[in-house]
Structure 1
Amino acid sequence: MEKIAVLRFIITFFISTFSVCVIAQDSLSSQNEDYYKQFQDLENGELRTFFFFNTPNRYNLNSPYDWLDTVKVYLNTSEKTKDTTSIQNYQLIESQIYFDLGDYEKSLAIVRSLYDNFEKLDNDIKFNILELLDANFSKLQLYNKQIEIRRVKRELGYEDNVSFYDIYANLGQYRKAMRDYMTEEKKEIKDDDYYGLAIYNNTIGNYLRLDKSTPTALSYFKKSEGLISVFLSDVTNQRTEKEIADGRILNGLIIGNIGKCHVQLNEYEKAIPFLEESIGIIKQYNKGKFSSEYNENKLALAECYLQLGNYEKATDILSDGLNLINLDNILKQNIIYADYYYKTGDFKNATVYLKKNNRIRDSIDNLASDIKNQQLTSIVEQDLENSKKMMEQQKAQLEESRKDIAARDDKISLVFVSLIFTLIGFAGLVYAYLKSIKNQRLIAEQKFIIENALVEKDSLLKEIHHRVKNNLQMVSSLLSLQTKNTRSKAAIEALEEGKSRVKAMALIHQKLYQNDDLSVIEMQGYIESLINSIQSVYKKGGHNINITIDAEGVELDIDRAIPFGLILNELVSNSFKYAFPQDDSSGKIYIHLRKIVGQEGFFEYTDNGIGLPEDSEERANSSMGMRLMNRLANQLQTSLNTDKTTDGVRFWFNFK
C-alpha cells in the first residue's frame, strides 16, 4: 500500500510539473510575440480586422495608443482611395481600441456611425458592431438602448433570447439578477465545460458579494477557482491561445473577488495576497486595456494596508496612476483618502474629501432616482412585451388546437356517417383519401426541409471556400514575408514558386464562392485570372508575350480544376522564366482546352520560345516542376506528353 501511495504521489507530481511548464511556456511565448508587427505586415483591412479581434493580449509589447496611431494612418489612406470596406474595418478596430482605453463615449460615437449602414455589412462585422454597442451602452448605463441592441441580436440569430440579469445587477437588484441568471444559464452549460462552469459560479458569487452575502459568495468563488484551475491544467485538450488567455484573466478576476470578500469580512491580512496576485494577473494578461476590476482590486488593497496601519503603502497604491471612471470607484477612493487623513490627524484634508463625496452624491441623487425609474420602466416594459408576445403565441396555439379539435370532430362525424351508409367499401375509400392527404403533406414538408437544407448548404460551402481562400492568401502573405527576410537567391526563387502555387489554389476557391454553381469552375475566366496573377510576378517579358486562351464554355469540377491549375501555373511560369530570354516581342503562348460531356477532354499548351534543352529528359527527372506536373497528371488519370517543335515546345494530354 505504501508503494502504491508513493507511486501515485510521483505520477501526480510529474503531471503537475508538466502542466506548469506548459502553461509557463505558453505564457512566455504570448508575452514575446510581436502582434503589432504581425498586424502591420498583413495585406488589407479585412485580414487585419480578423487578426485584431482574434488576438488576445495584443497590447503585450505596444500600447493601445501605438495601435491607434497606426490604425488612423490606415484609415486616412483608405479614405483617400475611397476603399469603403477597409474604412469600415479600420473604424471598427478604432472603436474597439477606444473601448479598451475606457473612452466609451468616443467608442460609441464611432460604432454608431457604422450601425447606420448596418444592412450592407458582412455578418462578422455586424456581430462585432452589436457586441461593441451592447458593451458601450452597458458602461454608459444606457440600458434602454442596450435592450434594443439585444433584441436585434435575437432577431439576427446571435442570441436565442433577450436576457436582463446583468442590467438588473447594474441597477442594484442583485437577487433578481441572480435568480434570472441561474434560470437562464445553468441549463446551457455542460458538465465537462469547466470554463463555463467557472464563469457561472463566479457570476453568482459576485451577485452575492454585492448583496453583502459574503460567506456564501466566498464558497462560490472557491468552487469557481477550482474549476478554472482544472481548465488551465488540462493538458489532454488542446486550447487556443485566446481560450488560454481568457481562462487566465478569469482566474485573476476570481482571485480578486476572493480578496474583496475577505475585505468585506475585515480579514485584511488574508485579503492582501489574493488582491496582489489578481492585480498582477490582470496587468499581465489584460495589458493596455482599461479594467474596472483592476481599479477595484487596487482600491481594496489600499484599504487593507490603511486598516493595518501601513499608511505609506496605502498612499503609494492610491497614487499609482489609477484611471477611475466609475463613480463608485471615485467615491471609494475619496473615502480611503478621508480615512487616511483622519487617522494621520489631518482633519482639514479629511473634511475636503468627505465634502467631495457629498457633492458627488448630491449630484447623483438629483438624477439617479428618475434615471433608475426610467431604466426599470424600460426593462419592465420589455418584460411585459415579451410576456404579451408569449401570451399571444399561447393564445394562437390554443385557438389552433381548438380549430384542430373542431375539424377532427367534423371529420369523425363525417366518417361515422359515411361508415353507416357506405359500409366497409366506402370506409376503405375514406381511409385511402385521408392517407393520401397525409402523404402529400409529408411530401410538401420534406420538400420544404430539403430546399432549406440545400440553400443552407450552398451558403456554408461559399463561406468555406471564402475562408479557404483567405487562409491561402494568409499563407501567400507569410511566404512573401519570408522572402523579404531571405538572402539566398535559390531560397527566394523556391518561395516565389511556392507562393505562385498557393495563389493558383486560392484562385480556385475564389472562383467557386463567386460562382452561383458551387460544383464547377468556368475555366476561361479562371485561366485568364491565373495568367494575370503569374504576369504580375514575372513582369520581365510578360507584357511582350502574346497569350491566346481557347477554353470558352469549358467547366471543370474542383477535383480536376486544382491539378489542372497547378500544371498550367508551372507551364506558364517556365515559359516566362526560360522560353524567351531575349524578351522577344514576337513571343506567343497558346492554351487550348476542350471538354464535351460524355467524351474525353483534351488539353494543349504550346509556346514558340527557345524550346527544351538537349538533356531535357535528365532534367525532367531532377526538376521539381516536371515531377510535380507528372504527379498532377496522374491525379487526372492521364500522363503529360511533351513534343519538341521547330518553334518551341508543346505539352498535351487527354483526360476523362
Structure 2
Amino acid sequence: MGHYIKRLFYGLIFVSLLNVSAQSIENEEVSVLLEFQNTDAPQDRFDVFFNSVNRYNINSAYDWLDTIKVYFANAQKTKDSTAARLYKVMQTQVYNDLGEFDKSTALAKELHGIMDSLNPNSRKIVLDVLDDNYANLQLYDKQIEIRKEKQEMGLTENVAFYDIYSNLGLHRKARNQYIMEVKPTIADNDSYGLAKYHSKVGNYLRLDNSAPTAISELKKAKAYLDVFLNDISVQKTEEQLFESDLLKAEIQGNIGKCHVLLNEYEEAIPHLESSIEILKTSSKNIHKSEVIENTLNLADANLQLERFSAAKRSLDTDFDSISMLQNIKRNSLLAAYYDKVENFKNAATYYKRNERIKDSLTQKQSSIIKQQLVTIVANEDLENSQRLIDEQKKINELARSEMKAKDERINLVFISLIFTLLGFAGLVYAYLKSIKNQRLIAEQKHIIENSLVEKDSLLKEIHHRVKNNLQMVSSLLSLQTKNTRSKAAIVALEEGKSRVKAMALIHQKLYQNDDLSVIEMQGYIESLINSVQSVYKKGGHNISITIDAEGTELDIDRAIPFGLILNELVSNSFKYAFPENDENGKIYIHLRKNGEQGYFEYTDNGVGLPEDTDERTHSSMGIRLMNRLVNQLQSKLNIDKETEGVRFWFNFN
C-alpha cells in the first residue's frame, strides 16, 4: 500500500513540474528577429519588421542590421530588385534607430530617387525617416521640404512647424501654434488624444521654464490617460497598450524634470526612475534622448540631496548617442560632483572640457544658421561647379584624342594644362566668393542681433522709468495725504494712489518679462491683489480669493484698462462688501482669452450693491471710471444685482 502511495506522490510531482515548465514556455517572450527569419517572403518579413510592437525586445539593432544585410546581399545576387528595395528600406530604419543619421539619410536619399518604384507604405516610411533624420541633423530647411512633399502625396493634411520652432528654442511659439492647430482636431471623448495633447502642451511649458503650469497640464494628461486605460468598453491592442505605457513614462519623466526645476528633488526621483525604466524599451530616437535627459536630471536631484554614489552611477551611464548640449550638462554635473567630494583637479578638468565644447557648439550653431540661409545658393553653385567639371572632362578627353593623332604632343599638353588651370582658377574664385558671402551674412546677422538686443534693452529701460515715475506720483499722493485733514480728500487720494500703483505694476511686469509685448495675467492679478490688500486688509480679513486666469496673456493696451477695472472692484469689495463679518467672504476672478475673443467676470458674496445703484452710477467716480475703461476695451459693463453679493462681467476683443 505504501509503495502505491509513494508512486502516486512522485506522479503528482511530475505533473506539477510539467505545468510549471509549460507556463514558463508560455510566458517566455518570443524573439521578433526569430519570427522574421522564420518567414519566407520578403514582403512578409517587411510586415513583421514594421508591424511588431517592439522589434528590439530580445535582439539588438546591430543583430537586425547584420541579418538584413545578408538578405539584401542574397536579393542582389538573385537580381530580385523588389526584395532588395524592401530590405534597403529596413536598413534605413535600423540606422535611424541606432542614431547613425548620416548613414540612414544616405540610404533614404537613394530610395527617394526611385520613389516611383516603391509601394505606398515604403514611400511613407522613407519620408518619415528623412523627416526624423533632418530634425536630428538640424537641417530644418530640408525637413520642411520633406513635409511639403508628404502633404503633396496626401500623407499629411498640412505642414507642421511647431516641433521645428521648439528645436530652435522658440518654445512659446511652438506651444501656441500646437494649440491652435491640434486642439480643434481632438474630440471631447478622445481620452488618448487629449492625453497626448496635454502632455505636449505641458512639455512646451516646461521647456519655457513655466514649471508650475507645466505640472498642471501634465497631471491633466495623466488623468486622461488613466481614463483611456481604465475604459473596459474599448478593446485595446497590444500596440496601443505599449504606446500608452511609453506616453505615461514620458509624462512621468516631464513631471520629474519640472520638480527638479522647482528644487523639489525628493518628489522628482521616483518619477524619473520609473520613466527611465519604461522608455528604455523603446527604439524611437526621441525616447532615447528622453532617457538621457531623465538620467541627467536624476543625477542632478541626487547630487542636490548629497547622495553622491547614486548621482555618480547615473553620470557614468554609457549612452549610445548623446547630443552636444546633453554632454555639456553631464560635464557640468560631473564637475559639480567632484567639487562636492573635494576632488578639485577632476572638477577643473570637466569645467575646461565644457568650455571647449561650448566654443565648438557656438561655431556649429553659427554654421547651421548660415547653412539654412544659403541652401538655395549653395545648390545652384554646386550644379554650376559640376557642369564646369563635366565640361573640363570633355575638353581633356578631346585633348587626349588629338594628342594621339598629332605629333605635337608638347603643345597639346601645354594647352590642356592651360584649360585645367583656368578651370581651377574659376573654382578658386567661386570658393573665395562663397566665403566672402558667408562672412557678409554673418556680419549682417551680428548687426541684426545687436539691434534686437539694444531694442529690448531700451524698451525695458522705458518701462522701468515709467514705473519709477508712477511710484514717484504715488509717493507724492502719500505725502499729500499726510498733509490733508479732510477724510473725503484722504479717501480720494488713497484711491488715486491705488490706481497709480495698478498702472505701475503693469510696467514692472513688462520690464521683468522676456517677452515685452504681453503680460501673463495670473501673476499680475495676484500681485495687484497683494497691493490692494496691503492698503485695506488692516483688520485681518479672511476673504477667500480665487483667481482663474492661468495661461492668459494680454498686451499693454488691454492690460492697463483691465488692471484699473480690477483695482476698483477689489477695492470696493474690501471697503464695502463685508462691513460686519468676512469669515465666509469669497471673491472669484475669471479671465479667459481664446484667439480674438476675451471674457472677464468678477463676483463676491458680500452685501451687494445698494438699491439706488442706477442713480449713483452718474455720481460714483468708481463706476464711471469702470464704464469708461470698459468702453476703451470696446465692450459694455454688465452688473448683476439679483444674485447674492455682486457680479460684474463683460466680453472684449
The normalised TM-score by structure 2 is 0.52
1:178 maps to which residue?
Answer: 175
Match of 2:145 among 116, 139, 148: 148
Structure-2 separation of matches of 1:288 and 1:45: 26
Counterpart amino acid of residue 97 in structure 2: D
Match of 2:224 among 189, 214, 227: 227
What does 1:455-494 correspond to in 2, within 5 Å? none
1:245 maps to which residue?
Answer: 242
1:485 maps to which residue?
Answer: none
Match of 1:339 among 336, 352, 355: 336
Cα distance, 1:157 vs. partner? Answer: 0.5
Match of 1:39 among 36, 39, 43: 36
Distance verdict in 2 for CA 1:277–1:286, change over 3 Å: farther
Match of 2:253 among 239, 256, 271: 256
Match of 1:270 among 267, 270, 277: 267
Cα distance, 1:132 vs. partner? Answer: 0.5
Contact 2:280/2:288 (CA < 8 Å) preserved in 1? no
Distance verdict in 2 for CA 1:203–1:374, change over 3 Å: farther
The 3-state SS of whatever aligns with 2:280 is helix
1:165 maps to which residue?
Answer: 162
2:346 maps to which residue?
Answer: 349
Contact 2:299/2:311 (CA < 8 Å) preserved in 1? yes
Structure-2 separation of matches of 1:299 and 1:321: 12
Distance verdict in 2 for CA 1:282–1:254, change over 3 Å: same
Counterpart amino acid of residue 201 in structure 1: H
Match of 1:57 among 40, 45, 54: 54
Contact 2:54/2:283 (CA < 8 Å) preserved in 1? yes
Structure-2 separation of matches of 1:339 and 1:157: 51
Counterpart amino acid of residue 158 in structure 2: N
Q: CA RMSD in A?
A: 2.2
Structure-1 separation of matches of 2:375 and 2:249: 34
Structure-2 separation of matches of 1:269 and 1:342: 22
After the TM superposition, list the runs of 4 or more consecutive aligned residues in structure 1 that deviate by more than 6 angstroms: 28-31, 287-290, 376-379
2:369 maps to which residue?
Answer: 372
1:292 maps to which residue?
Answer: 289
Cα offsets for 1:405-436 (capped at 9, x unmatched): xxxxxxxxxxxxxxxxxxxxxxxxxxxxxxxx
Contact 2:99/2:285 (CA < 8 Å) preserved in 1? no
Structure-1 separation of matches of 2:165 and 2:315: 31
Structure-2 separation of matches of 1:354 and 1:370: 25
Q: Find out whether 1:77 has 2:74 as its counterpart.
A: yes
Match of 2:355 among 344, 353, 358: 358
Contact 2:279/2:287 (CA < 8 Å) preserved in 1? no
Q: Sequence identity of aligned pairs in percent?
A: 45
1:134 maps to which residue?
Answer: 131
Counterpart amino acid of residue 98 in structure 1: Y
Contact 1:171/1:372 (CA < 8 Å) preserved in 2? no
Cα distance, 1:59 vs. partner? Answer: 1.1
The 3-state SS of whatever aligns with 1:291 is helix
Counterpart amino acid of residue 259 in structure 2: H
Cα distance, 1:120 vs. partner? Answer: 1.9
1:98 maps to which residue?
Answer: 95
Contact 2:249/2:276 (CA < 8 Å) preserved in 1? yes
Counterpart amino acid of residue 150 in structure 2: K
What does 1:201-220 correspond to in 2, within 5 Å? 201-220=198-217
2:311 maps to which residue?
Answer: 314
Q: Which runs of 5+ in 2 are unaligned?
A: 1-24, 377-653
Structure-1 separation of matches of 2:306 and 2:26: 41
Structure-2 separation of matches of 1:178 and 1:98: 31
What does 1:378-417 correspond to in 2, within 5 Å? none
Cα offsets for 1:203-223 (capped at 9, x unmatched): 111111111011111111111
Structure-2 separation of matches of 1:284 and 1:365: 34
Cα distance, 1:366 vs. partner? Answer: 2.3
Cα offsets for 1:440-492 (capped at 9, x unmatched): xxxxxxxxxxxxxxxxxxxxxxxxxxxxxxxxxxxxxxxxxxxxxxxxxxxxx
The 3-state SS of whatever aligns with 1:160 is coil
Cα distance, 1:33 vs. partner? Answer: 2.8
Distance verdict in 2 for CA 1:147–1:309, change over 3 Å: same
Higher relative contact order (CA closer than 8 Å, sequence separation 6+): 1
Distance verdict in 2 for CA 1:144–1:359, change over 3 Å: same
Cα distance, 1:165 vs. partner? Answer: 0.7
The 3-state SS of whatever aligns with 1:130 is helix
2:277 maps to which residue?
Answer: 280
Cα distance, 1:320 vs. partner? Answer: 2.5
1:328 maps to which residue?
Answer: 325
Contact 1:248/1:285 (CA < 8 Å) preserved in 2? no
Structure-2 separation of matches of 1:82 and 1:55: 28
Structure-2 separation of matches of 1:269 and 1:63: 34
Distance verdict in 2 for CA 1:144–1:173, change over 3 Å: same
Cα distance, 1:378 vs. partner? Answer: 8.6
Structure-1 separation of matches of 2:232 and 2:27: 18
Distance verdict in 2 for CA 1:115–1:29, change over 3 Å: farther
Structure-1 separation of matches of 2:232 and 2:162: 34
Distance verdict in 2 for CA 1:30–1:245, change over 3 Å: farther
Contact 2:280/2:287 (CA < 8 Å) preserved in 1? no
Cα offsets for 1:153-211 (capped at 9, x unmatched): 01001111111111010000011111111111111111222221111111111111111
1:192 maps to which residue?
Answer: 189
The 3-state SS of whatever aligns with 1:141 is coil
The 3-state SS of whatever aligns with 2:46 is helix
Contact 2:101/2:136 (CA < 8 Å) preserved in 1? yes
Counterpart amino acid of residue 269 in structure 1: E
Q: Which runs of 5+ in 1 are unaligned?
A: 1-27, 380-656
Contact 1:208/1:216 (CA < 8 Å) preserved in 2? yes
Structure-2 separation of matches of 1:232 and 1:286: 23
Distance verdict in 2 for CA 1:30–1:372, change over 3 Å: farther
Distance verdict in 2 for CA 1:325–1:31, change over 3 Å: farther
Q: Find out whether 1:108 has 2:105 as its counterpart.
A: yes
Structure-1 separation of matches of 2:26 and 2:334: 41
Contact 1:100/1:289 (CA < 8 Å) preserved in 2? no
The 3-state SS of whatever aligns with 2:342 is coil
Structure-2 separation of matches of 1:284 and 1:161: 31
The number of equivalent residue pairs is 352
Cα distance, 1:352 vs. partner? Answer: 1.1
Distance verdict in 2 for CA 1:29–1:330, change over 3 Å: farther
Distance verdict in 2 for CA 1:77–1:263, change over 3 Å: same
Cα distance, 1:376 vs. partner? Answer: 8.0
The 3-state SS of whatever aligns with 1:97 is helix
Distance verdict in 2 for CA 1:38–1:367, change over 3 Å: closer
